[in-house]
Amino acid sequence: MAVVMPGHQTTTHPPTTAIHHDGRSGAGPRLVKFHAPEIVFGEGSLVEAAHAAVRLGALRPMLVTDPGLIETGWVDELRHHLRDQGVHPTVWAGLTPNPKDHEVTAGHEVYRAQGCDVLVALGGGSVIDAAKGVAILAANGGSILDYEGVDRASLPIPPMVMVPSTSGTGADVSQFCVVTDTTRGSKITIIGRSLVPNLTVIDPRLLTTMPDDLNAATGLDALTHGIEAFVSRAHNPLTDHHALRAVGMVTGTLVRTIDEPAHMPARTTMAQASLEAGLAFTNAILGAAHAMSHQVGGLLDQPHGVINGVVLPHVIRFNGAHDPDPFVAVAATLGLDEARGAATEAVEAVASCIDDLARRVGVPRGLGQLGVREEDLERLAEGALRDACMSTNPRTATRDQMIELFRTAM
SS3 for the chain, per residue? CCCCCCCCCCCCCCCEEEECCCCCEEEECCCCCCCCCEEEECCCCCHHHHHHHHHCCCCCCEEECCHHHHHHCHHHHHHHHHHHCCCCCEEECCCCCCCEHHHHHHHHHHHHHCCCCCEEEEECHHHHHHHHHHHHHHHHCCCHHHHCEECCCCCCCCCEEEEECCCCCCCCCCCEEEEEECCCCEEEEEECHHHCCCEEEECHHHHHHCCHHHHHHHHHHHHHHHHHHHHCCCCCHHHHHHHHHHHHHHHHHHHHHHHCCCCHHHHHHHHHHHHHHHHHHHHHCCCHHHHHHHHHHHHHCCCHHHHHHHHHHHHHHHHHHHCCCHHHHHHHHCCCHHHHCCHHHHHHHHHHHHHHHHHHCCCCCCHHHHCCCHHHHHHHHHHHHHCHHHHHCCCCCCHHHHHHHHHHCC
| 143 shares a domain with 200 | yes
pLDDT tens-place string over residues 219-239: 999 999 999 999 999 999 999
| 335 shares a domain with 253 | yes
Distance, CA of 260 to CA of 253 (rounded, Å): 11
What is the pTM for the complete model shown? 0.90
Q: Is the pLDDT of residue 24 over 90?
A: no
Instruction: From 179, 207, 235, give the residue that closes a domain.
Output: 207
pLDDT above 90 as % of the chain? 90
Q: Does some domain include residue 169?
A: yes
| 380 shares a domain with 238 | yes
- Four-point Cα dihedral 130, 172, 189, 35, nearest 10: 140
What does the pLDDT read at residue 250? 98
Q: Does some domain include residue 286?
A: yes
What does the pLDDT read at residue 10? 29
| 304 shares a domain with 253 | yes
Q: Is the pLDDT of residue 77 over 60?
A: yes
pLDDT greater at residue 247 or residue 184: 247
Q: Does some domain include residue 63?
A: yes
| 230 shares a domain with 198 | no
| 309 shares a domain with 198 | no
What CATH number is given to the structural domain containing 173? 3.40.50.1970
Number of domains in the chain: 2
Q: Does some domain include residue 256?
A: yes
Provide the mean pLDDT of the chain: 92
Q: Is the pLDDT of residue 27 over 60?
A: no
pLDDT above 70 as % of the chain? 93
Would strands 119-123 and 160-164 be described as parallel, antiparallel, or unpaired? Answer: parallel
pLDDT tens-place string over residues 130-170: 999 999 999 999 999 999 999 999 999 999 999 999 999 99
Distance, CA of 350 to CA of 313 (rounded, Å): 8
| 262 shares a domain with 316 | yes
Q: Does some domain include residue 15?
A: no
Confidence of residue 28 (pLDDT cuts 50, 70, 90): low
Over residues 106-121, mean pLDDT: 98
| 306 shares a domain with 177 | no
What CATH number is given to the structural domain containing 261? 1.20.1090.10
Q: Does some domain include residue 195?
A: yes
| 161 shares a domain with 235 | no
| 297 shares a domain with 189 | no
Q: Does some domain include residue 325?
A: yes
Would strands 186-191 and 176-181 be described as parallel, antiparallel, or unpaired? Answer: antiparallel
Which among 100, 239, 77 is positioned nearest to 170, based on CA atoms? 239
Distance, CA of 40 to CA of 224 (rounded, Å): 24
Q: Does some domain include residue 23?
A: no
Residue 95 belongs to domain spanning: 38-207
What does the pLDDT read at residue 30? 73
pLDDT tens-place string over residues 333-377: 999 999 999 999 999 999 999 999 999 999 999 999 999 999 999
Which among 288, 327, 299, 298 is positioned nearest to 409, based on CA atoms? 288
